[in-house]
Structure 1
Amino acid sequence: MSTEITTYVRATLAEKRDYVQTIAQAGELLPKGLWHNVRNPDTNVMEQRPSPGKVMLVVETGIMLGVHPMAALQGIDVIEGHPTIKPALMSALIRQAGHSLRIRQTGSVRGGDLAVTTTLIRSDDSDFPYEYTWTPQDAVDAGLLDSYQPNADGVWQPRARSKDGNPKPWELYTARLCRWRSLSDAASAGAEDVLMGLHYTAEELGAPVDAEGAPTAAPAPTQPSRDWAAEIAEASTHEAIEDLLDAADDAGERTDAIRTAALTRHGMLDQPAAPEPSTAAAAVPVPDAPAELSDDDWLAQAGGQP
């Protein structure tokens, strides 16, 4: 283990927290997978900023793999709370452990016969290679490509478009992304001890990626058109709550938080109303004041002599 990694491992939790908070201030220099949405307290607007918590998770994951924190920040991403590994780092770790990786590409995308095969040969079991192949048709079957078929001239064309009609990376970099998928399959089958279970790429967890398998920037967060939670909290009937939920749904802004607010308000409306306290004070008998006694009477009652 390098001196830098050892220094980080021996640091206190407070020192590690200061370290990752300093890194989080790098802003645009950090991968988008390490960002999260936060509300600016000054403007009350949602913004994207690097997450110190995600940075900490990535650095700690890198330490588990024996990777320097800076290398971890470039090779590990966080998708929906799960650390994922970029194909380049996956390949480096496997080779560093002494195993062999062979990636062979045959055919071409336009010829309709592209195939990318990754063969992993372990140093401790060279007689049993792990071999996995990916083709554009596999990408179609996995829902990564919309289609893969020849045009009128007989040239095969992959197609993967966004809602706006723009080409996605699988259309632009079909061969390279087939390579990363074949590598991931071979790694998960034959190198779990090297990757410590961290064999999923960001794309396999549903994140849009670029040609290198890195998550692309997420859309900037938008402000809701109305403060749905506040309006639900003020609703006086169950019907009003459901109307607000329908309106939020129509606006495409119905979230888990809004549903939770609605369920909470429904529960409050179902609670029986507390009885109002009576304005008339209950009649409480007041004992008569004791008669005043002379000194001689007090002595007589006590058994003494006047």
Structure 2
Amino acid sequence: MADKIDGLKLEQRHGKARVRVGRVWKNEDGRHFFVEWNVSISLLSDCIPAYVLDDNSNIVATDTIKNTVYVKAKECSEQLSVEDFAIGLGKHFTSFYQPVTAAIIKIVEKPWERVHIDGLPHEHGFKLGSEKHVTEVVVEKSGSLQVTSGIEGLAVLKTTKSGFEGFIRDKYTMLPETRERIVATEVTASWRYPFESISSIPVKPLYFAERYLDVKKVLVDTFFGPPKDGVYSPSVQSTLYQMAKAVLGRFHDISSIQLKMPNLHFLPVNLSNKESPAIVKFKDDVYLPTDEPHGSIEASVSRIWSKM
């Protein structure tokens, strides 16, 4: 919030960051479900007197915010998505506290996955995966809503069907053109839902959790192409656009998507020695992996009517 005080503009918010919570749900049949969330909350509120008059009467203590996360996790008697938990927290803070005008809830869900033993899912065993499910929810006292979901750390690589050629060449250019290379990246994706109020959210258990898995599958499938022949990638930029376009084409409840796809390099190893100064080429089978420095490639794709 921005306020003019003593001829100055004051913008302020407060909250609690990195509140870690684990939650177990137990079905009657004995199967357990587990999530681990890292919750950060920012409250926009009318607490200017705390800054200029030493009056804390309109402040929700950050320790109270932390405790609320655990209480609300306890109150969730049924398994729910990270987005639904964030929306519930936002509704609480904007309705329970009169000075709070809006709540911004950011949550990162650790990728705990059910273990399979001898091909069978374990009832209460989990292992830590790789990519993380993230969300940012903004809830206003009026009921206005913004929901953004995403993926962090989705690492993908294919050993062929990729090239890069026809780019600008000048006196600084040393990179050779190629139609045969490894392409690897670590995808960070975020997508916006069109829902503008809490009442417009679909009434469906685990709706957001299912959509997250759906989007992840489309991103991965588009990156790799068919399992036998794959799909050629003329650049990371082209592949990024095809991935974003596929998500918007498949899911009409997503209004926009942003992708960050750094080009993680695998450089072909070519060697020479004293006895034989000729370069020994390894013919696309031995590489030097390096991710520093790496190419930085990102873009967002939106429907024409999207506000993002």
TM-score range, shorter chain: under 0.3
TM-score by length of 2: 0.27
Q: Which has the larger radius of gyration?
A: 1
TM-score by length of 1: 0.27
Identify, as 1 or 2, the structure richer in helix: 1
Identify, as 1 or 2, the structure richer in strand: 2
